Amino acid sequence: MMRSHVRAAVTVGVLGGFISSLGIAWAALPPAAGGIKGRVRLTGKAPGNPIIRMGVDPLCAKANAGTRVFQETVVTDREGGLAHVFVKLLGRFPSTPVPAAPVTIDQRGCVYVPRVIGARVGQTLQVRNSDALLHNVHSASAGGNVFNVGQPVAGLVFRHPLKPEPEMVSLKCDVHRWMTTYVGVVDHPYFAVTGKDGAFEIANVPAGTYSIRAWHERYGLSTASVRVTSGTAATVAFVYTGLEKTPGPSTGR
């Protein structure tokens, strides 16, 4: 019996030494993880989105011949699910590797695609021009993500390593003023953007209780509390009434 205890102690000691050799402290190991599933809804009547008058640039009009393009500020499904909402957990988390793959915004048919995207601090943002005409990519940033770059021909790609950002970064095209997109820059991987039905999901969240925040370009910020337990998916719901004030230039997070 004594030998078993000794053998167990040696095993634990060797394992601890191995982990220490990798530079990992026992205390730094993350707690067991769960997930978060949620939905963002608009309970009030959705306002009509204005038609984009592509005729201002004949090349844009040609690229969208036969279709009407709308400014997709408020996009909902039949149940009020609200698309293009950026959702993130608030707080400090153990460091995790930044994805090597870039996040991509495309300029296609004189519109930015997607409308809202999330990325990690240190991850590369790349903006591609798929149109055979001049665009420029102009950021509005309160942090280090300041740039204004022309892309005169199709196939050009601008790359920018993202810096910490206290606000959502908005991108505009000074040539086509209707072009708008937003980038949420986060220092952890626990964020998401709602789909067409207003749903979102955040995976592999360390167990704990958190504040979780939603941001929409017209309806602003909404914050809720969520408790994540190991091996299960917590649920959270955000509701906008449509009476919220449109946020100003600062969309503080």
Same domain membership, residue 217 and residue 168: yes
Please tell me the predicted confidence (pLDDT) of residue 75: 98
* Residue 213 maps to a domain: yes
Radius of gyration of the chain from its Cα atoms, rounded to whole angstroms = 22
Asked if residue 57 and residue 19 are part of one domain, the reply reads no
pLDDT digits (tens, 9 = 90+) for 134-164: 999 999 999 999 999 999 999 999 999 999 9
According to the model, what pLDDT value does residue 248 have?
Answer: 57
CATH number of domain containing 158: 2.60.40.420
The pLDDT value recorded for residue 250 is: 43
* Domain tally, the chain: 2
Residue 196: inside a domain, yes or no? yes
Residue 13 is assigned to a structural domain of this protein: yes
- 235 and 137 share a domain? yes
Predicted TM-score (pTM) of the model is 0.85
User: Quick one: 120 and 23 in the same domain?
Assistant: no
- Domain identity same for 159 and 195: yes
User: Any idea of the CA torsion for 224, 168, 109, 155, to the nearest 10 degrees?
Assistant: -130
Residues 6+ apart with CB under 8 A from 37: 199, 200, 201, 233, 234, 235, 236
Q: Do 15 and 58 fall within a single domain? A: no
Name residue 163's beta-bridge partners: none
Q: Same domain for 133 and 160?
A: yes
d(CA 8, CA 16): 12
The answer as to whether 249 is a domain residue is no
Domain annotation covers residue 251: no
Q: Is 246 a member of any domain?
A: no
Domain span holding position 204:
31-240
Are 116 and 1 within one domain? Answer: no
Residue 44: beta bridge partners? none
The answer to whether residues 93 and 199 belong to one domain is yes
- Which residues, at least 6 apart from 23, have a Cβ–Cβ distance to it below 8 Å? none
Do residues 147 and 24 share a domain? no
Q: Is residue 80 part of a domain?
A: yes
Q: What pLDDT score does 182 carry?
A: 98
pLDDT at 79: 97
What is the reported pLDDT for 94? Answer: 92
Contacts of range 186-189, beta carbons closer than 8 Å, 24 or more positions apart: 186/88, 186/118, 186/119, 186/120, 186/121, 187/120, 187/121, 188/89, 188/93, 188/96, 188/120, 189/96, 189/120
| Domain membership flag for residue 247 | no
pLDDT of 30 reads 56
Same domain, 15 and 67: no
Task: Label residue 231 left, alpha or beta by phi (over 0 means left) and psi (-120 to 50 means alpha).
Answer: left
23 and 96 belong to one structural domain: no
Q: In what order do the strands lie in the sheet with 148-151?
A: 116-120, 180-186, 169-172, 135-140, 148-151
Encode the chain (253 residues) as per-residue pLDDT tens digits.
444 443 444 333 434 444 344 444 444 445 789 999 999 999 999 999 999 999 999 999 999 999 999 999 999 999 999 999 999 999 999 999 999 999 999 999 999 999 999 999 999 999 999 999 999 999 999 999 999 999 999 999 999 999 999 989 999 999 999 999 999 999 999 999 999 999 999 999 999 999 999 999 999 999 999 999 999 999 999 999 999 987 654 443 3
Q: What pLDDT does 167 receive?
A: 87
